[in-house]
Every structure is written in structure tokens, then in C-alpha cells.
Amino acid sequence: MSTEVPFRILPRVGKRNEHYWHGGRDGELRFQRCADCGYYLHPPTVLCPLCHSKNIVIEAVSGKAEILTFTINYQPWMPGLEVPFVLAVVRCLEQDDLRITTNIVGCDPEEVKIGMPVKVIFEAHEDEEVWIPLFTPDESERP
């Protein structure tokens, strides 16, 4: 991957979401998970919405996902924003409603399809200690 980091407005990182934005430093996509019922929680919260447990841990997932929906943006909304780019919602394989709004990179935007298998990669903003999870086509075999 190119070392050139594109323009991006970065998230505010705090105690509750640092597992998510720092995970890429170790190449891991991390979420909160309920230690009682196993449900992944995203975005971060203080209470499991399924079983109301506060017993929440941080866990890495495989980083494998599929594209649920997407749009190709051609409009340069602000200076420095390179177009076209793909804005997508992907669904992690671990849980149907574990979804991330992200960019699809490493392929021609015209090749992107709904249902396409993708895997996580990270865009490093080391000075700000933020690793943005992005997704790229996954050529590997899946069960």
C-alpha cells in the first residue's frame, strides 16, 4: 500500500472507543463484546442491548466482511478530497448486525458489488494515534 495518507477528518478518540481506533496498530479490528451472551457491540456502549449485562470485554474479529451497500462519490466536497471513492456499509462475518461505514479501497470503484467479500486494512495516522479501518477485496476462499 502507498504510504501517502489521504485527507481525512479524524475521529475523536477517548476511553470508550480507543480499542476500535487503536486496534489497527496491531492489525486487529476490535469491538466491544458482551462476555455474558457473546453479542458484539458497535458503536461502543456501556450496556449490552440484548441481555443488559455490563460485563463487556474487548475482542478482535477476523476482519472479514461483505459489502451490504455502497455508493460511489464523484463530488470533491472539500479541498484535498480525492475522487472517485467508494463509501460503503460492510457487515462483519461474525455477526449480521455488526456493521461499519467505511471506504472500499484497492480496486476500481466500478468493480465494487453488493455481497462482495472484503477484508480489513488500516489507514495509519500515527501522529494522531488513529488507525482507520478500511476494506479491500478479499480473494481468499471462504467456507
Binding site for Zn ion (CB under 5 A): 34, 36-37, 39, 48, 50-51, 53
* HSE-up (13 A, CA, CB side) for residue 37: 12
Nearest to Zn ion of 10, 50 (CB atom): 50
Minimum CB distance to Zn ion smaller for 1 or for 51? 51
Q: What is the distance, to the nearest Å, from the Cα of residue 24 to the centroid of all Cα atoms in its chain?
A: 10
**Residues 21, 62: Cα–Cα separation, whole Å:** 16
Strands 64-73 and 117-125, sheet pairing = antiparallel
Report in angstroms how near the CB of residue 31 gets to Zn ion at its nearest.
13
Give dist(CA 117, CA 56) in Å, integer: 29
Who's near 1: CB < 8 A, 6+ residues apart? 106, 121
**How far apart (Å, rounded) are the C-alpha atoms in residues 81 and 57?**
36
34 versus 88: smaller Cβ distance to Zn ion: 34
Closest contact distance (angstroms) between CB of 53 and Zn ion is 5
Considering the complex, what minimum distance in angstroms separates the CB of residue 55 from Zn ion? 8
CB 19, min distance to Zn ion, A? 17
Of 21 and 39, nearer to Zn ion (C-beta) is 39
